[in-house]
Amino acid sequence: MNCYFPICKRYFTSSDYLSTVIEDERVLFIANNITHYRHTHIESWNKCWGQYGGYYRNAAHFGDYDEEKAKVNERAKRQIIRKGKDYLKLQGITAKHFEELQNNEDKTLELARKTLG
Contact status, residue 13 vs residue 1, Cβ threshold 8 Å: yes
**What is the average pLDDT score of the chain?**
87
Contact status, residue 49 vs residue 42, Cβ threshold 8 Å: no
Contact status, residue 25 vs residue 64, Cβ threshold 8 Å: no
- Top pLDDT among 99 and 1 is at 99
**pLDDT, position 47:** 59
Q: pLDDT of 68-105, one tens digit each?
A: 788 889 999 999 999 999 999 999 999 999 999 999 99
Report, as an integer, the average pLDDT of 60-68: 68
Q: Which pLDDT band, with edges at 50, 70 and 90, does 53 fall under?
A: low
**How far is Cα 51 from Cα 54, in angstroms, rounded to an integer?**
8
Return the closest-CA partner of residue 112 out of 97, 95, 96. 95
Q: Give yes or no for residue 58 having a pLDDT over 90.
A: no
**Domain-wise residue ranges, the chain:** 2-116
The beta-strand segments (E) located in 39-114 are none
Report, as an integer, the average pLDDT of 47-57: 58
